[in-house]
Every structure is written in C-alpha cells, then in structure tokens.
Structure 1
Amino acid sequence: MARFIPNIICSLVLLTFLIIIVINNSKKGVPMQEFVKRRSEISKFSTDIVNVRETPKDAWSIYLPYLINPTSICDSFNGYSRIKLLVLVKSSTEHFHIRSFIRYEANLNKEFKESIKTVFLLGQSTTLNKEILEESRVYGDIVQGSFMDTYRNLTMKTIMGYRWSSEHCANADYLVLKDEDYRFNFRNLFNYFKSQKEKDSVFTGHLIKNGGEVIRDPKNKWYVSREEYPQKTYPPYFPGGANILSMAIAKKLASNFHLVKIIKIEDAYIGLVAKALNITLTDSKLINIKNCENFHKNIACRRQI
C-alpha cells in the first residue's frame, strides 16, 4: 500500500494544477466570434433575441454565423476570361415557387449561363428550416443566416449578402443585389458592363437623389425612431429592388459596415455606408421600378409574381 501513496499524491497535485488552469481561463472571457458560434450551436440564434445594445455593432452585423453556407459556387469563375456576374436574390423563406421560377429562367439563359451565378439569401424560418435545408441540398444555391426572416431584418440579409460575396465569390467582376420581383435583361446588362471604362467604380440603380424624409410614424412599415437615426433625411440611396455594382465596391462595403450604426431600412442603410466611404451612387434610367413594358430596352424591371 505504501508504494502507491506517491502515485496518489502526484495525481492529486496534477488534478489541482488542471483545475487552476481551467478557472484562470474562464476569467479571461471568450472572443465574440467564438461566443456567437457557441450560441448558434446551442439555440436558434437570431437578431430578434439579441440585445443589440450589449453586443458590439461590428459583431452584430458581421459575426452572426451562416446556417447554410455554400462555399464553392463561384469556383468555376477561376480562370474564366469573360465577364463574371454574381446575382444575389433577397428571398422570403416560404417562396419556394418563386425560387424555382428564377432557376427555370436562369436555365433558359444559355448565352450567359457560364457567366452568371445566382444565389438566394434567406433568414431563419419558424417552421420551414428542414424544407429549406433539403432545397439547399438539391440546388446548392441558398445562403441562410442565423436571424429571423422578417421585413425588419432585411438589413441583416443585405449585410450577409455583401459579406458572403466578398468571402466566397470575390473572383466575380460585378454583383447584382435584387428583390424577387425584379427581372433582368442580361444582354443589355452585359452590354452596359462592356461600355464601362472604369469597371471598379460601377454602383448604379434607380437613385433617390435627395435621400427622402425619415418616417417617424410607428405604425408605418418604414418607421425609424430618432434614437435609431436622428437625422430628418437620408443621403442618396437606391430603393432595394435592384442594385448593380462592381465587386471592388461590394468588398469595400462588406469590410466597413462596422463604421455605420445599423438601421432597419436596408436600402437607406447602404446609402449611409456609401456616404461614409465616399462612394458615388449613379442613377440609371434603364431600371424600371414600375413595370416591364419596355423590357427589351431596360436593364431591369419590376414585375408581378
């Protein structure tokens, strides 16, 4: 028995030493990225339940993890010599039929099939996440964020789109960010790209030149409180339907969202970030926000779906 006593003492000393290390490490805290990652693994993590005031704005806007993250969609762009375009579609979780229709249209577009990649941006659903996961397994074109898919979270969806494009499709030349109900004439769009002398400075859409007045009525769909945004008007911005920009500008936006406090009107928010970065927004008369009567002349138009 006596010969075992030293071994027992050594084991106790080693155990005490390990306990001290664990206690010290627990006092140091956990990096924000790791904290968010752990929270997302434990529960349904969304901006609807995050206390934004207690979360650093850069972490809230950038570090929320993806629930679905296809990383190889743009791999075929490597070594491709023609114009490369990424189309990001802000889609509602329940709109399976609209996503199917957009895929159908994309398959018909043989002329630019190798030049265009289409990705759908979704948030979380309360009831449809299994179906969305299966849709992603079949088509591989869905990026889903860990925030609830609501109108007031469109800014989160937009930020996610820019972030994902800069991480996983930076080899594209241009980016289109659009709503589901916008249709693009890609022949006209690619002719527009070819006419640009400075492709890295492209950022165009239907421009609200004077910005527009901030709506303070809490009952209004576009309500923004003074606490959220104290100014009376917004800077120039594009309504969220259809924006066209170079990947150079998309990457610049993606890396600087932490500079501007988030508001829940996504198109006005991008205008605020662009202003902070001295990025010029240009107006295009070839984007029709009313209808598609002159589709053959337009770059993009809004249609009934």
Structure 2
Amino acid sequence: MSFSYRYLRNSFAFVNASFRVNPEDAFKYSNHRYLINHERKCGEKDVLLLLFVKSSSENFERRQAIRSTWGNETYIERTLGVTVRVLFALGLHPEPEKRRQLKMQLLFEDQRFHDLIQQDFMDTFHNLTLKLLLQLSWKETYCHRAQFLMSADDDVFVHIPNLIHFLQRIGHGKPKNLWIGRVHRGSPPVRDKESKYYVSQEMYPWLSYPDYTPGSGYVLSSDVATKIYQAALTINASFYIDDVFLGICAKVMDIAPKDHAFFSGEGKAPYHPCIYNQMITSHGHVSDIREMWRRVTEAEVSQISSGLIWRLYCAVAKVRLLCVPFLSNSYPCKAAFF
C-alpha cells in the first residue's frame, strides 16, 4: 500500500493505549544486572557526547579498529577540544560454551581499555531493545550531564570531526527536542516470516510504524534521551525492533525525528573526498575502518571545500555519485545539493 495511504490511515493515537503496561512489568526489561560497568566514566566533566557503540562479545577486532580511529577519546580531546565518552554496549553470548570462553577475554579487554558496559541479557537480534534500554538507563544514571547521546552499530564509521563540529553548531544554549538521523517515514511492518525483521499482526496490527531513525546511527539531545527513557518505562519492551521501539517511545512523548542527509541509513558512503567533507556516518564497515579513517583525515580532504573550482567539481561529483538511480544506497540525492 502506498506511503500516503498508510499515513492517512494512521493517526498513531493507538500508541499510548496499545503499548502501555504497568510500571512493574515495564521495569523488568531494564532491570538487568551489570556484569561490567564503569560508573565514573563521565565523572563531573562537561561531556559533549556520550557515544554508545552496540557490539557483540566476540567482535574484539571491530572494537579495536574503532578505538584506534574515530572512537579514540584522546585524539578527540586533543584535536577537537571537547570531551567525548565512547563505550561499547554488550550482552551475553547466547551459546554457553562460547560465553565461558569469552568471559575472561572480555575482562582482560576491559582492564586494558575501561570502555565495556555489559549486562546479563542474551545478546541476540531479538534483544536489541534491551541493549537500547541499557544505553538510555546508563546515560540517565551515570552520565546525566552529557549534552548528547549517540547510538551506533560497530560496523558503522562515524566521521567524528564532522559530527563534533555539527553538534557544536547546534549545541549553543542547550538544544531541546533534538533527535537526528536518517528518518524512515511511514515504513510498513515486515510480514515475511523468513525475514529477521518479521513482525506478526498480533504484535503490531497497524499499517505503518511511527517515524524513526535506523539503529545504525542517530543522535539524541539530553532531554530527548531522558524523555524516551521515561516513556520506555511505561511501554511493553518485548517489541524487539529496537529502532522502531525508539520511535514508539518518542511518539508517546510527542517527539519527532529530524532528517540529516549525511547519516547513512543502510549502505556505505561512496569513497570520494567530496563526500568526506560532509559525511556523518557510513554503514557496513567491518574490515576497512582504518582505511576509511586514513582517507577522511588526509590533509588534502580539508582543502576540498576551498576555492570555486573545487566547489564546482564537488557539486558535479556528488550529483554523479548520489543521484544516479541504484548506484548509491547511502545518502539521498538531495545530499548532493548541500
């Protein structure tokens, strides 16, 4: 059914009534025990950004790549002059034997880097909503002074200098009601039982979801993170599509996401210097994060936007890269004109 039909049929007034549960039932979803925690990670510093990376226990190499590139707190503070806290959100490996093997490895890793936050739920696709609640509750409890909260997958590349400059521009005067990412509007539930995104009619009988941003990467202002967490404590968190659950909580609080063309929803950003100047996130990086970091931090990239010739060249290049049908699934065509 068409986008407009789905939207016209849905006022989303159902959200309050349909997903509300009593506080005791809602609390059990966010009441998981910490196995690894760092209560003083934020301290009393003025933290601009608390950045949670959703990771799995066995993804040590991905975490290492992030620590040595865009998630390096020392680099960020020294080069960009702001305090950012980068943490990895983990559950338990679902296989008992593998879980036992990884337990000591994770403890050694955390003793060295002090950046793992692990709770005792099973780390599966159907528990991603629990991982979202981990991030929201940790921020509320241990890092309430952070101006922004970002959530990202561990296969996402974050252009941290661009992100920090963007947050600094909008961060003056303590911004309110900001939820930024690649917005999905009027998306219908997946009814194909073979898909991991399958949602039954019983669980969600309506034609479309409230607006939401993909869980691969989005940013919330501090007040929005608090409001969504408060809503989550009244909502049935057995709904396992975490980014849609975020949208449901936000709708309860009358918060709407704002679209940013350079948050990548699904695919990788094109490898091109004219893109690096504006990109915020790029999705689908497993083995090339270090190479991507080298590319975006080269001195030549910072000079791309200077001069009329370069601006004209980049205008043409971005149209070619982003506006040819089926060529790019990272940024929309409109991003070429920013």
TM-score, normalized by the shorter chain, greater than 0.5 = yes
Confirm whether residue 181 of structure 1 aligns to residue 139 of structure 2: no
Confirm whether residue 62 of structure 1 aligns to residue 30 of structure 2: yes
**What secondary structure is seen at the aligned counterpart in 2 of 1:287?**
coil
- CA contact under 8 A between 1:295 and 1:301: conserved in structure 2? no
| Structure whose alpha-carbon radius of gyration is higher | 1
> Following TM superposition, by how much is the alpha carbon of 1:213 offset from its aligned partner in structure 2, in angstroms?
1.1
> Following TM superposition, by how much is the alpha carbon of 1:121 offset from its aligned partner in structure 2, in angstroms?
0.2
Partners of 1:242 and 1:90 in 2: how far apart?
Answer: 10
Confirm whether residue 226 of structure 1 aligns to residue 226 of structure 2: no
2:132 to 158, 174, 178: 158
Gaps of 5+ in 1: 1-52
Query: Paired residue for 1:4?
Result: none
**What secondary structure is seen at the aligned counterpart in 2 of 1:75?**
coil
Partners of 2:225 and 2:163 in 1: how far apart?
Answer: 18
Partners of 2:111 and 2:148 in 1: how far apart?
Answer: 26
**What secondary structure is seen at the aligned counterpart in 2 of 1:133?**
helix
> Following TM superposition, by how much is the alpha carbon of 1:76 offset from its aligned partner in structure 2, in angstroms?
5.3
Question: Cα RMSD over matched residues?
Answer: 2.2
Identical amino acids, percent of aligned pairs = 27
> Following TM superposition, by how much is the alpha carbon of 1:175 offset from its aligned partner in structure 2, in angstroms?
1.0
Query: Paired residue for 1:292?
Result: 269
Confirm whether residue 251 of structure 1 aligns to residue 226 of structure 2: yes
Pairs aligned (count) = 248
Partners of 1:137 and 1:250 in 2: how far apart?
Answer: 29
**What secondary structure is seen at the aligned counterpart in 1 of 2:188?**
coil
After superposing on structure 2, the runs of 4+ consecutive aligned residues of structure 1 that deviate more than 3 Å are: 107-110
Within-5 A mapping of 1:1-305: 56-75=24-43, 77=45, 80=46, 84-105=48-69, 106=72, 107-109=74-76, 110-112=78-80, 114-125=82-93, 126=96, 127=98, 128-196=102-170, 199-210=175-186, 212-262=187-237, 263-289=239-265, 290-293=267-270, 294-305=275-286
> Following TM superposition, by how much is the alpha carbon of 1:273 offset from its aligned partner in structure 2, in angstroms?
0.4
Of residues 101-110 and 86-95 in structure 1, the stretch that sits farther from structure 2 once superposed is: 101-110
User: Partner letter of residue 192 of structure 1?
Assistant: F
TM-score (normalizing by structure 1): 0.76
> Following TM superposition, by how much is the alpha carbon of 1:148 offset from its aligned partner in structure 2, in angstroms?
0.6
User: Partner letter of residue 203 of structure 1?
Assistant: W
- CA contact under 8 A between 1:58 and 1:258: conserved in structure 2? yes
Of residues 123-132 and 91-100 in structure 1, the stretch that sits farther from structure 2 once superposed is: 123-132
> Following TM superposition, by how much is the alpha carbon of 1:243 offset from its aligned partner in structure 2, in angstroms?
0.6
Partners of 1:228 and 1:303 in 2: how far apart?
Answer: 29
Partners of 1:295 and 1:143 in 2: how far apart?
Answer: 31
User: Partner letter of residue 141 of structure 2?
Assistant: E
1:67-116 deviation digits (Å, cap 9, x = unpaired): 21210110151xx4xx6111000001110011111111115443137511
Gaps of 5+ in 2: 1-20, 287-338
**What secondary structure is seen at the aligned counterpart in 2 of 1:288?**
coil
- CA contact under 8 A between 1:61 and 1:257: conserved in structure 2? no
